[in-house]
């Protein structure tokens, strides 16, 4: 397994190249690029500029593990407004294009967003309908779309069997699950999600979660590895059981208030312990 971390973790005033240097020195193998979440990688970033990002990543001794985005929170594939849906699809297409340019084969998509306004059944249908053609495009590009389980925030596909059925309905070999083991909260157990989805897992996001605390205002329930309630030995065993040997990508929501670079080192070391099974 290889270790990666998101470029959105790079302290805002550091810049991309200095951030890459930190990621490498901390011991990561790759970096996850977040479309639209950082100034160096936006929807307006040209192909040439994307190739330049790849060059910088490779010069730092890293590779791009995957292309993610937070843009679908504002422009979901499940929106009622057709114009918003078209923009959401365009974001996925750009992720696919960028993944090819960056030499990686996976993207992360937050597939749907259940709200008071847009109910579950509509979100489900729209996401299935949207992901079928996007899956075809991804397959042609040799890229896999990983739909992230954002259980609490999306209020969508809360259980692993529900997610399994969803992927069956999309019915595309190029569409799987980008599993976030921290997002399951008290709705289940990450190790069971790993067992159920096995070969459909495109990438794994790592963070820990405080299950006994509900999300309240700006207070995060997410925390650093081994500080929360995830059963890490069980998670590691489940990865072995299903033969997952792909990228593990750190996604820390709570940041160190001081010495932010230290979080990169601590996280990389914790991931080493997880990979080695020394828990």
Partner 1 sequence: MDITRREFVGYGIAAGAMGVGLRLPSSTHLPARTHYPCIVSPVQGQCSLPESVKGYCSALRPTAVTRRETWIVPAVVDIPSPIGKKLVEFLHRGWTIIVESGGGFAGHLNFRRHRRALRERLHVDVQAPVALWTDDSRSRRTPYVDYTWPSSAKVRDFSRVVPVGDQPGKIIARIDGLPVALKRQVGAGTLIFLGSPLGPALWAGDSEAKRWLLALLA
Contact set with partner 1 (CB under 8 A): 80-83, 116-119, 121-122, 124-126, 129
| In the complex, least distance from residue 49 CB atom to partner 1, rounded to whole angstroms | 32
Q: Whole-angstrom distance between the N-terminal and C-terminal Cα of the chain?
A: 16
H-type helices in the chain, by residue range?
A: 16-26, 47-59, 82-102, 120-141, 151-154, 160-170, 190-197, 232-242, 260-276
Shortest distance, CB of residue 74 to partner 1, whole angstroms? 14
Report the residue number, 72 or 126, with the smaller CB distance to partner 1: 126
Buried b (16+ CB within 10 A) or exposed e, 32-60: bbbbbebebbeeebeeeebeebbebbeeb
How far is residue 169 from each of residues 27, 123, 198, 253, 279, measured CA to CA in Å? 39, 13, 17, 31, 38
Q: For partner 1, give the closer residue by CB, 13 or 116.
A: 116
Q: Give 101's Cβ-side CA count (13 Å radius).
A: 20
**Smallest distance from partner 1 to CB 161, Å:** 19
Name the residue nearer to partner 1 (CB basis): 1 or 118: 118
Using the Cα atoms of residue 61, residue 242, residue 146 and residue 270 in order, give the sign of their dihedral: negative
- Give the nearer residue to partner 1 in terms of CB position, either 90 or 255: 90
- Of the pair 82, 199, the CB lying nearest partner 1 is at 82
Residue closer to partner 1 (CB basis): 126 or 197: 126
Nearer to partner 1, 118 or 237 (CB): 118
- Give me the phi and psi of 203, to 5 degrees please: -150, 165
C-beta of residue 247 within 8 angstroms of C-beta of residue 4? yes
- Joined together, the tokens standing for residue 1 give 């397994």
- In the complex, the smallest distance separating the C-beta of residue 169 from partner 1, rounded to whole angstroms, is 13
What's the DSSP call for residue 217?
T
Whole-number minimum distance, CB 32 to partner 1, in Å?
Answer: 32
State the Cα–Cα distance between residues 278 and 266, nearest whole angstrom: 15
CB of 84 to partner 1, least distance (A): 9
Q: How far is the CB of 172 from partner 1 (least distance, A)?
A: 19
List the structure tokens of 30. 């790759």
């Amino acid at each position: 397994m290889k270790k990666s971390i998101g470029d959105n973790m790079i302290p805002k005033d550091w810049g991309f190249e200095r951030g890459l240097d930190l990621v490498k020195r901390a011991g990561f193998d790759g970096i996850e690029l977040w479309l639209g979440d950082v100034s160096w990688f936006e929807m307006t970033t040209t192909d040439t500029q994307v190739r330049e990002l790849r060059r910088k990543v490779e010069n730092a001794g890293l590779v791009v593990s995957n292309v993610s985005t937070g843009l679908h929170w504002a422009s979901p594939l499940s929106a009622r407004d057709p114009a918003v849906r078209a923009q959401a699809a365009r974001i996925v297409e750009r992720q696919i294009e960028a993944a090819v340019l960056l030499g990686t084969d996976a993207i992360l998509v937050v597939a749907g967003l259940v709200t008071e306004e847009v109910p579950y059944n509509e979100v489900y249908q729209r996401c299935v309908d949207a992901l079928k053609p996007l899956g075809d495009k991804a397959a042609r590009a040799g890229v896999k779309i990983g739909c992230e389980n954002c259980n609490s925030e999306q209020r969508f596909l809360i259980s692993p069997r529900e997610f399994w059925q969803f992927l069956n309905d999309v019915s595309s070999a190029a569409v799987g699950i980008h599993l976030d083991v921290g997002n399951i909260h008290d709705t289940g157990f990450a190790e069971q999600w790993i067992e159920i989805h096995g070969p459909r897992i495109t990438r794994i996001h790592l963070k820990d979660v405080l299950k006994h605390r509900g999300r309240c205002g700006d207070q995060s329930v997410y925390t650093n590895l081994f500080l929360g309630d995830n059963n890490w030995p069980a998670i590691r065993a489940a990865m072995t059981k299903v033969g997952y040997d792909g990228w593990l990508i750190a996604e820390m929501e709570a940041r160190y208030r001081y010495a932010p670079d230290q979080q990169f080192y601590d996280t990389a070391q914790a991931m080493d312990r997880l990979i080695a099974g020394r828990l």
